[in-house]
Amino acid sequence: MKIFGLALPVLILFAAGSVARAAGPDLAEAKDNYMTFCVKCHGATGQGNGPAAATLHTKPRNYTDCALMAKIPDDTLFKAIKDGGASVGLSPEMPSWSKGFDDDEIRGLVAYVRTFCKK
Ligand code: HEC
């Protein structure tokens, strides 16, 4: 029964993973990624005022502006992160992250960016 002893925990982990996935994006992981890779331009509060923003030609938008954010669909945010700003007609200073994050992680980042607008 050695095999069973190993297989069962693996199965449970796998099932737990699927449940977490079905529950939507992992916001804690997304926050980690944002604070590591995005904060220098977009700022810790999402207002587009990170320390590197001053050197950019186009300042990142203010994600706390709910009226503005309501006009931008998730698909556009997703594409901007995955393929870079230029792919959605924005500044090419927004890099493409397709090599850094998989689609689930990018969906997480989209959800995290949305949290800056507090209604
Ligand atoms: C080098 C600075 C820089 C870094 C690093 C950066 N961004 Fe950007 N980002 C920008 C700029 C500049 C824009 C374009 C703003 C514009 O043209 O209005 C932008 C645009 C975006 C947009 C498009 C939405 C919109 O309409 O404003 C999203 C979403 C976004 N960034 C998310 C992220 C995420 C998530 C990360 C980290 C994985 C990240 N950015 C890293 C500078 C950066």
Rounded distance from Cα 42 to ligand 1 centre (Å): 7
Rounded distance from Cα 112 to ligand 1 centre (Å): 13
For residue 114, give the nearest of 43, 27, 6 by alpha carbon: 27
Q: Find all residues with CB under 8 Å of 15, minimum gap 6, and list them.
A: none
Is the distance from the beta carbon of residue 61 to the nearest atom of ligand 1 less than 6 Å?
A: yes
For residue 74, pLDDT over 60 is answered with: yes
Q: What is the pLDDT of residue 37?
A: 98
Q: Which class in CATH covers the domain with range 25-114?
A: mainly alpha
pLDDT tens per residue, range 26-65: 999 999 999 999 999 999 999 999 999 999 999 999 999 9
Q: How confident is the model at residue 119 (pLDDT cuts 50, 70, 90)?
A: confident
- The residue whose two tokens read 């503005």 is 68
Is the distance from the beta carbon of residue 48 to the nearest atom of ligand 1 less than 6 Å?
A: no
Residue boundaries of the structural domains of the chain: 25-114
